[in-house]
Every structure is written in C-alpha cells, then in structure tokens.
Amino acid sequence: MPAQEREKVFQRLYRLDSSRTTPGSGLGLSLVRAIADLHGATIALEDRRPGLAVIVGFPRAEGTGPGLK
C-alpha cells in the first residue's frame, strides 16, 4: 500500500484503486478505527513487503499485568 494512501483507508467507503474490482464495501478499517477510538486504543499500519499489518494496541487496565490480581 502506498504510504500516501495509509490515512485514507480509515475513511468510510474508501477503497484503493487496485481493490475496486474485488468484493468489499470499504468499511473494514473505518470500523476498526472507530472501535479502537472508543476503547482508547492506538492503531497503526505497517508495510510488510508484501502485505500490510494492522497493529491495534489497547491500554492496560488498572490492576492487571504480571504479578497483579
């Protein structure tokens, strides 16, 4: 995915030119971002050459983690 397209894929109904002939609605990553935002999570796209990784990081809840109950 071209670097200049990465922020655009989070817009509702946006599809890359190369994906316009494949099934889909262009809602997937916009929904992922909306859910991540609701939960205070971060979302990042990383080029894997070939492919793309979508990395979602959720904040740790208070009182959780190694050695905590």
pLDDT mean across residues, the chain: 82
At 11-34, the pLDDT tens digits run 887 787 777 777 777 778 889 999
Which pTM does this prediction carry? 0.68
Buried b (16+ CB within 10 A) or exposed e, 33-62: beebeeeeeeeebeeeeeeeeeeeeeeeee
Asked if the model's pLDDT at residue 43 lies above 80, the reply is yes
